[in-house]
Structure 1
């Protein structure tokens, strides 16, 4: 085994090789339709219930979004983009629920997962922005240095890709999404299975008023989906603090 620098160089070279093998952004899939022209040029799709809270109805291409809270909604973002024919990477998110993403409609053939990006996840994200539609980068509560943030933001803008920074402090993001688990439904009803999860969601844009909403993750037509909460059909269970970042 070589030095740490040599190992890092080999990993980045391999990542660039794999990126070169990915079809051009928006290229057609053998199993799914590509992203529409409007989606490619303006914004990426999101779960419809979340889209109602976002200023542009989706994740604007070329932008950086700061995200805090439940990883289950991140799985919904992956599902929405890959299910529409886009290419996505999840970086530094070892606990991301891929099974949940599949149940939400994700196409794993269009998803690259890098649970351990090494000592410089920002460089890995920079490479991935070159050819993917969406990069979700887990930062584990760390702050992104302003100089690096400006470089990455410029790269995302230049490539027309969207960067979601999960659990990382980022100055200058155009949008911030905060989520908090409000409760679970379906417990104690004889089936012994969790059926619904509820999220409180707060969205803050750089130049738009704050928006808040409540989303339910619930079974529907053989899959699970994020839908706008229906208060009369949900009896929440109190959530302990340890679930706050689930």
Structure 2
């Protein structure tokens, strides 16, 4: 196991999962947060935010569970040189690179740029970089994608989808993302590399959504409509509907090879089986 750890993003969705999986012997030296969670836990919080945070005490390993761009900017400006760095990126680096949405293409470009800059910075400082790119993160009622669909289905009692919404997806549970980060931190030796981190099951988009509705919006049903009718409804919805990039990907496969990350970190492959507690009430 690496020596002392410092962690950014320990109060987000993945951060909550990681805190729940901490063991008494895990050497967490500090955790940076803008606002410590309520409840009086005794974790070594440092209150601050990126990019203006002064260098915290040196540690053997740093993990970042938050936005990759903010961490990259901060790490480049810092003087720390930990033995290993474990960060979360996103498969949006691949999946949104050719999006019709300019903002999504810009996001993919920023992710790619940050990966390159962070890799170069770690190489200069002798830090082993483990970059994990999760796919669609779900669980604990805090994701921003599947929960939104469930909320619409609860309100309307039906959810329209184009008939072609069959693109493959691999949702990954927040607990599994946290487990991957911890595996990289706890490993006896660094596990350098950039790894896509999909969930353990590959399924069509409409099947994924149907499972969400069955778990958290019982009685609601999918309404499969022709593509032109779906696009017309979105045009009438205006800004309230999903953007053009989201719609363009509904029939596109966004599936990635999870074999390398599971072999490197010894992770299980959890299927997609959401329950009612995985979505807001």
Is TM-score (shorter-chain normalized) higher than 0.5? no
Higher strand share: 1
TM-score, with length taken from structure 1: 0.33
TM-score, with length taken from structure 2: 0.30
Task: Report the structure number with the largest CA radius of gyration.
Answer: 2
Higher helix share: 2
